[in-house]
Structure 1
Amino acid sequence: MNTAIRQVTIRGRVQGVGYRAWVEHQARVSRLEGWVRNRRDGSVEALFAGPADVVSEMIARCRHGPSFAHVDTVAEEPADADALNLRLAGDRFSVLPTI
């Protein structure tokens, strides 16, 4: 199985519209590992780990987001397994505090 770990930053109207909860739900349904959090600059940051095709599909869904969101850009870059350590203990996918 070809696995991938990708970190994404989503910009636009993505805070105050349920974006983090939507990402968490989508990631859990897709059986991905990782985390999502708001950033003080108004963006949302997420890390997705799992089969490469499922990670790519998740990133594609992030380009649209939930119905009240308006996504301007999604920047993505490779990440390493150490980035998964930000998850809460025992969680497969975590919603982290704002940074």
Structure 2
Amino acid sequence: RFKITPDQAFQNISYSAGGYKHPSKDSEGFRVVPTQGTISLSFNNERCIEAQTQGQQDEDFAGFILRHYEATRFRIAFDKIVPIMSAWRGLNGLQLAQSN
């Protein structure tokens, strides 16, 4: 989405099982991540903003907001809309589940 590498996106990485290396994509385009240990990291918002506003005029605030909105808004994949709506309907009346 932001077209930056994992090394640019994540900082201050510590991994309880030793040194951490970002996983590469497999043949299907998925990243296989470790299932053991604990990882702590910071997401670098500045790099994302820089990447999405590259070439933007400094005075064009409206253009900046539009690009930022397009890059960060939540988009549900079309094939997942019905299952998500069904899950939300199933939460109707469950106050505790809705507050978490």
TM-score (norm 2): 0.25
Larger % of strand: which? 1
So what's the TM-score if we normalise by structure 1? 0.25
Q: Which has the larger radius of gyration?
A: 2
Greater percentage in helix: 2
Q: Which has the higher contact order (CA 8 A, sep 6+)?
A: 1
